[in-house]
Amino acid sequence: MIQLKSAREIELMAEGGRILAAAVQRVREAVRPGVSTLELDAVAEEFIRSHPGATPAFKGLYGFTGSICASINQEIVHGIPSKKRVLEQGDIISIDVGVAYRGYFTDSATTVPVGAVDPETARLLEVTERSLAAGIAAAVPGNHLGDIGAAVQQVVEGAGFSVVRDLVGHGIGVEFHEEPQVPNYGKPKRGLKLVPGLTIAIEPMVNVGGPMTRTLPDKWTIVTVDGSRSAHFEHTVAITENGNRVLTAA
């Protein structure tokens, strides 16, 4: 069931989203060679909990132990924070964070270079972020879910990278994962029509190599089958009468 949100509900999501955006920024600033993903997790958790009414949404969600997902290099999503995972110069790390605030959820991710990265990796980050912007630009009333996916896919494949298909964006708000699914591929004018009040997480996951994925024995971490690097950017977006509102923008 798709749960459209009232203006009041979207305002609450925006309040939570502001806390989330600031938390992502704090973690981004803490990324450096030598830091562990568990230390980054603590930065996010402490920052979120310092805001009355806000809690890290991932902690305990489906049994996940972290407040962030921290996914390095060929890891696409759902990396478990660990003191054994220490960042090195030239790595990239996807930081995915969720906030629960006064009954509403928001979700956002960014991928950060650890110091200087090679040119192909830098291009992967730029293209993935640009594909998210294209998806958001297509998320307006009268368009369809397929317009979002097509916009993302065009940017990614136009740059010679591949879109992950096994994982998709999602409705969000009252529940962390709501209907509809929001694929990062598709055809214009296909799928659900977008209407004001729809709140969705748009989250392209982009691989340098092929799109195939597999799950590691820890049952969480999803990696590229070919070992190529992967990037992930995400915002929570509300469709409005006039267009849309990004609820997790800094």
Spatial contact of 228 and 208, defined as CB atoms under 8 Å apart: yes
Q: Residue 31 or residue 70: which is nearer to Mg ion going by CB?
A: 70
Spatial contact of 5 and 199, defined as CB atoms under 8 Å apart: yes
CB of 171 vs Mg ion, minimal distance in Å = 10
CB of 235 vs Mg ion, minimal distance in Å = 9
Q: Tell which residue, 83, 80, 113, has the closest CA to residue 223.
A: 80
Beta-bridge mates of residue 42: none
Query: Is the bond into 188 cis (omega within 30 degrees of 0)?
Result: no
CB of 118 vs Mg ion, minimal distance in Å = 26
CB of 166 vs Mg ion, minimal distance in Å = 14
Distances (CA, A) of 77 to 7, 98, 213, 222, 239: 31, 13, 10, 6, 26
Q: Residue 105 or residue 161: which is nearer to Mg ion going by CB?
A: 105
CB of 203 vs Mg ion, minimal distance in Å = 5
Chain residues binding Mg ion by CB under 5 A are: 96, 107, 109, 201, 203, 234
> Which residues make Cβ contacts (< 8 Å) with residue 180, sequence separation at least 6?
2, 145, 170, 171, 191, 192, 200
Beta-bridge mates of residue 94: 71, 111
CB of 59 vs Mg ion, minimal distance in Å = 14
Q: Residue 82 or residue 181: which is nearer to Mg ion going by CB?
A: 181
Please report where in the chains the tokens 């938390």 appear, as a residue: 23
Q: Residue 25 or residue 89: which is nearer to Mg ion going by CB?
A: 25
Q: Residue 96 or residue 147: which is nearer to Mg ion going by CB?
A: 96
CA distance 123 to 128: 8
Q: Residue 98 or residue 191: which is nearer to Mg ion going by CB?
A: 98
Spatial contact of 181 and 201, defined as CB atoms under 8 Å apart: no
